[in-house]
Amino acid sequence: MCGICGFTGEIVNRDDVLREMADLITHRGPDSSGFYTDCCVAMGFRRLSIIDVDSSGNQPIYNEDKTLVLTFNGEIYNYRDLRAELEEKGHRFYTKTDSEVLVHGFEEWGEEMLPRLRGMFGFAIWNTKEKSLFLARDFFGIKPVHYTQVGDHFVYGSEIKSILAFPGFEKKFNYAELDRYLSFQYAVPPETFFEGVYCLLPAHYLWYRDGKVTVQRYWEPRFMPDESLQEKEAVDRIEKVFEDSVNAHKISDVEVGCFLSSGVDSSYVSTYFADQKTFTVGFDFGDHYNEIHWAADLSKEIGAEHHYEVISSEDFWGNIKKVQYHMDQPLADPACIALYFVSRLASKYVKVVLSGEGADELFGGYTVYNEPRVFRVYRAVLPQCVRTFLRKMVQKVPRHFRGQGFITRGEYPTNESFIGNAKMFGYEDKKRLLKDPSIVTRPQEITKKYYERVKDLDDVTRMQYLDINLWMVGDILLKADRMSMANSLELRVPFLDKEVFKVAATIPTRLRVNRKNTKYAMRQAALRHLPEATAQKEKLGFPVPTRVWLRDEKYYNVVKAAFHSQTAQKFFCTEELMHYLDDHFHGLRDYSRRIWTVFIFIVWYDIYFNDASHEPGDFPAY
């Protein structure tokens, strides 16, 4: 795993600027650095050596006549097959790396190379003859690519912090993104919180030629359910393709480990790690927040060497600022901090880990995917006037109760009620909360274009499609990349493989989500390798006790101070913030997710716009 950065055009002290941009992402590749410059471009690279670990694998990588220059972040798992095909066509290789396949493949096939790849990637190729720059991002968005234009210069990087270091870049806050963040809990791609800085969307490539940027999509995760597919055949296909994917993702010249929770996704992955290492973290707040014993028992059963760490409250809160520095943008998912700790633990033993991200989106694992089936019954039993009355009544109840959200959402169609796995603040909530309510929009304005593309499919599949394009990119994969890379650890996700998706796309809805379970067919495949209790275990995510902490006077006061800060007063109506905080503290409602969303934004804003610190080691603990 690596980091890339660069820019076009001539500037004063170009070499120093390029090195500073690369130094800011040293954590992505502490093993070595590499640079290329000519009169028109400057390209920087940081390397975490995984394949062909000696110096011959250093980047930049060139084709035979050095007319193409590559810097690459990621892994290409079918590089050996592609290399053999390219050698038959006359291409000569000078390294054993997967990187070199890209430069020769691009020379041979151009953009048509991208659908041939199997892997995760974000890379840049400079054509010295045409003076053109080509950027590409993998199918699901596992690896990041960001870019902007500063005058006549095109600037890019794996992380936004590299771009911020470019001379002449004027750092401006993107106010519109605050509105979207308050709905979704993440910055909605391709926009970012920095005005004029964009992320290249998954399965897209970009050309920069003659001062112009053009972006094109090369692949789309389209579901095509085969309703004739029977359960055994579906399970057989899942088992076969997943085993193939795990074996491909384990290709490495260094040791590979595995993250492990009590859930079926990472547990299924771990069954291929006998005699290797697994890693788990938990909190000292009872079984709901600590899955270490589950992971330890499974590791013992499969013969893996298990390593774990219990995260204390002080450690968690003491690393919030460091985590938000590495995230580049605010992410109100507290699991990202837990992911930082498990990555830190694993990095003490291995350079590469496999994890279970993507299984829920591809195979229908989230509990919320049950709602379309349940809502059909709810709407059939109760007339609309009764449902409307119930919704208005529950909204007036001061204390939160189980089922409240169900009654609220049950009155609306899926494309109105579901914007993804996180829905923080509603339209009216944002109007009351923000100092500038003119920026408030309905989140459905973002989601409607995705729903429209799959309008002929069932509601569960439409929800999955939306999550793959928004939630998975903006939350799941963002935190997976940033938290692993913050610890110089390569994280690989075998569920997010295009061959696995080919199978997942054909699974009928009844074998994804049904009365028995979510992710049904995938669980049946996992059951062939796991104890039934693990394969059928209820989806928990990565539970973090923020709800508990925010009812502790110590952390209540930490957040209270943030809610009265100048940053809070700049953007929010502080009386409304304290309403959420106090009601939660006194047990009237569970507002923990809303409180955390605003708190994390304030922490992030102070780091990047109030110059609280620019070095991760400088952040004081709470």
Q: Helix/strand/coil (H, E, C) string of 212-244?
A: EEEEEECCCCCCCCCCCCCHHHHHHHHHHHHHH
DSSP-assigned letters across all residues of 301-339: HHT-EEEEEEEPHHHHHHTHHHHHHHHSS----THHHHH
Report the distance separating Cα 439 and Cα 234, nearest Å. Answer: 47
Report the distance separating Cα 468 and Cα 476, nearest Å. Answer: 10
Report the distance separating Cα 577 and Cα 558, nearest Å. Answer: 14
Contact 75, 145 (CB under 8 A): no
The closest of 479, 354, 369 to 420, measured between CA atoms, is 369
Report the distance separating Cα 485 and Cα 235, nearest Å. Answer: 34
Report the distance separating Cα 79 and Cα 505, nearest Å. Answer: 25
CA atoms 588, 591, 596, 599: torsion sign: negative
Report the distance separating Cα 283 and Cα 337, nearest Å. Answer: 12
Q: Residue 321: how many CA atoms within 13 Å on its side-chain side?
A: 20
CA atoms 42, 46, 51, 53: torsion sign: positive
Residues known to be catalytic: 5
43 phi and psi, to 5 degrees? -125, 130
Report the distance separating Cα 606 and Cα 613, nearest Å. Answer: 8
256 Cβ neighbours under 8 A, 6+ residues apart: 250, 276, 350, 352, 353, 354, 492
Contact 457, 372 (CB under 8 A): no
β 212-217/119-127 pair status: unpaired
Report the distance separating Cα 484 and Cα 490, nearest Å. Answer: 6
Report the distance separating Cα 517 and Cα 521, nearest Å. Answer: 9
In eight-state DSSP terms, residue 438 is: G
What Cα–Cα distance (Å) separates residue 477 from each residue in 177, 184, 336, 444? 19, 15, 10, 22
Report the distance separating Cα 553 and Cα 112, nearest Å. Answer: 58
Contact 52, 253 (CB under 8 A): yes
392 Cβ neighbours under 8 A, 6+ residues apart: none
For 538, the token pair is: 């209820």
